Every structure is written in structure tokens, then in C-alpha cells.
Amino acid sequence: MKILVTGGLGFIGSHTVVELIRAGHEPVIFDNLYNSKIETLDKIKKITGSDVKFYKADLLDPDSMETVFKENKFDAVIHFAGLKAVGESVQLPLRYYENNISGTINLCKLMEKYGCKNIIFSSSATVYGAPKSVPIREDFPLSTTNPYGTTKLFLERILTDLTVPDKDLKVILLRYFNPIGADESGLIGEEPNGIPNNLMPYIMQVARGILPELGVFGNDYDTPDGTGVRDYIHVTDLALGHVAALKRVNTGGGVDIYNLGTGTGYSVLDIVKAFEKANGVKVPYAIKPRRAGDIAMCYADPTKAKEELGWEAKKDLETMCKDSWRYAQSLTK
């Protein structure tokens, strides 16, 4: 299939482009390079041996996007492009609502104009808010606590509404849990700007000696060791979830929703220990107060994706830690 991948040079997008090529699809990338680098395109070529068509285009500039639709006929869109920093979204809500929501509306208008009837959307476990229990199923109640999460929840609703008048439109909402790791080539991975907010990128900077120690946000949660528990999933497994979701394309209109997680929860200290063991590198840490807005436990029930997409995460925590570290070591300080 010919697939438009918005945000295709970003962390999850670049790994998905690699897996799409390996599966025999033809991805076309558009990205405004706000949070990614053009060099990633060459790295994708190095990994796959294939050239990928790239457009520097912006969701907020419909003319630049229309060129992409004029020059290609897409079977489906995989829509990663968006802003994703939770803390920043609290400070800059308008920027988040404009980029993520107005940008997606612009994209949907072009899909309508050019007759593209399938969209796979990057949603997040953040739409479950503070879940009443774990593991989390797709039919759990939804709520959010910050503008980033609200953009995901609103976009899920907007995309769902579009399927009411357009009976041929297929919307696939993929709710990601916590992606970490990197392609095993070590060529592509996650490279956040500034001081990272998320656990694995922070550990990486401590292990590289850039930051002195990890702050563990709370050890008094109701969890086995008191630290927060999350469902960490290898980004390559997550990418393969998108390839699997393409099976649902052109199966009639409507909305399909899937959790993409492993179903296993690990605590912050589990991750620190697993990282140290896998890579033989020390990660000094200190217990700090809880981070505002954090929940004790969040992990998926991934049964639906297994049953309907034939997909399940395969890579274990040791592999995630090794692959994250291989990529991190390739970065210049």
C-alpha cells in the first residue's frame, strides 16, 4: 500500500517507516522537522536500502500539504505529526490545540478532498487519565489532566465523528503505552531536546554522564516497590503494531481502537536495575517527591490487538535497554 506518514522522521514515525518498507509497503513522509532531523532520511535508507519520498510540509500550512496529496494517491495515512511534551502543553495550550487539533483538521480536509478513506492515529494511554484498575482495556472511561492529553482525546472524538456521515471512512485509534528502545542498527532512536521529562531518555543522559543522577519521583505508591509502574514497549514492536493495523484498512468504515502495550508493568527501579544489568553501566539515583499528575500504575490489556490484529509485543526489557543504550552512545554530547 502507498501510505502517507505524517511526522515520519520523528521517533515512532521513523521506526514505523522502516517496518513499512520491510513489509513491502511504500511510505511517503511529510514532516516539518520541528522535532526531527533530515539526516534520519539517510539513516532509513541505510537500514532498509530504500529511498523514501520526503516532503518538508506543515500541518498548519495546507498549501504545502496539498502538494503531497496532488502528487500521490494514498491508500492510508498514518498520522504521527504533533507536539507531545506534557509540561510544555500546560504552558502553551494554544500552541498545542492549534498544532495538534487544527493541524489534524487540515489533514482530514485534504483526505476528504482527495478521497483517502483510511487513517491510523497516534493516540496515547494518557486518554485513560487515572484508571480505576489495571490492566487497562479499551472500553475504560476516558479523561485527561493536561492540554496534550486533551488534544488526543478531542482528536479521537473528532475522527470518530467523521465516520458518521462518511460510511467508508476507517479510523484506527492506536493508544500507545510507553515506547522506549531503538532500531537494532543503532542508527535511529529518540533524541529529546534539553533535559528529558521521560524516564528512559533521562536514564540515558545520566548513563552518558550528562546529568548527575536520576530523580525517582516517589517511592510511596501502592506498587510492589513503591515506585511508579508503567508498560514499556519496544518502539520496533510499536511500529509493527501499525503494520498490523493496516490489515483493518479497507474493511468497511467505522472506528477501531487498540491498546499497543506489552501487558506487563515495570517499576522505575525495575528499569534502573534492568538497564544497569543489560549494559554494565551504573545509574545513580535519588528518591524525590512525587511528580504532580503521576499515577501509580498504568499498563495495558493488549488482548484486543492480539485477537483482531494478530499483533503482540515480542521484545523483552533487556533488549529495550540494550537498544536504547546502543543508540544513546552514538550521540555526541
Range in contact with ligand UD1 (rule: CB under 6 A) among 24-32, 108-116, 215-223, 299-307: 215-223
Which among ligand UD1, ligand NAD, none contacts residue 217 (Cβ within 5 to 8 A by kind)? Answer: ligand UD1
Which three cell numbers mark 241? Answer: 503494531
Range in contact with ligand NAD (rule: CB under 6 A) among 6-14, 131-139, 273-281, 308-316: 6-14
Range in contact with ligand UD1 (rule: CB under 6 A) among 134-142, 175-183, 240-248, 300-308: 175-183
Backbone angles phi, psi at 72, to 5 degrees: -140, 150
Catalytic residue, from 148, 221, 258, 327: name it.
148
Residue closer to ligand NAD by CB (options 21, 173) is 173
How far apart, in whole angstroms, are the C-alpha atoms of residue 278 and residue 85? 28
Q: How far is the CB of 7 from ligand NAD (least distance, A)?
A: 3
**Is 327 one of the catalytic residues?**
no
The mark string for 52-71 relative to ligand NAD (x by CB under 6 A, - otherwise) is ------xxx-----------
Classify strands 266-267 and 229-230 as parallel, antiparallel or unpaired.
antiparallel
Asked whether position 242 contacts ligand NAD by CB under 6 A, the answer is no
Q: Is 38 exposed, middle or buried (0-12, 13-18, 19+ CB in 10 A)?
A: exposed
- Distances in Å between the Cα of 55 and the Cα atoms of 31, 97, 102, 111, 170 are 7, 23, 20, 17, 25
SS3 category, 276? helix
Can you tell me which of 17, 57, 268, 320 binds ligand UD1, judged by CB under 6 A?
Answer: 268
Asked whether position 210 contacts ligand UD1 by CB under 6 A, the answer is no
SS3 category, 70? helix
Q: Is 105 exposed, middle or buried (0-12, 13-18, 19+ CB in 10 A)?
A: middle
Which three cell numbers mark 239? Answer: 511500529
Can you tell me which of 10, 147, 196, 302 binds ligand NAD, judged by CB under 6 A?
Answer: 10
Backbone angles phi, psi at 113, to 5 degrees: -60, -40
Which three cell numbers mark 49? Answer: 536500502
The mark string for 277-316 relative to ligand UD1 (x by CB under 6 A, - otherwise) is --------------x--x---x------------------
Q: Which amino acid is at 7?
A: G
By CB under 6 A, what part of segment 12-51 binds ligand NAD?
12-13, 31-36
Asked whether position 124 contacts ligand NAD by CB under 6 A, the answer is yes
**How many chain residues interact with ligand UD1 (CB under 6 A)?**
22
Asked whether position 217 contacts ligand UD1 by CB under 6 A, the answer is yes
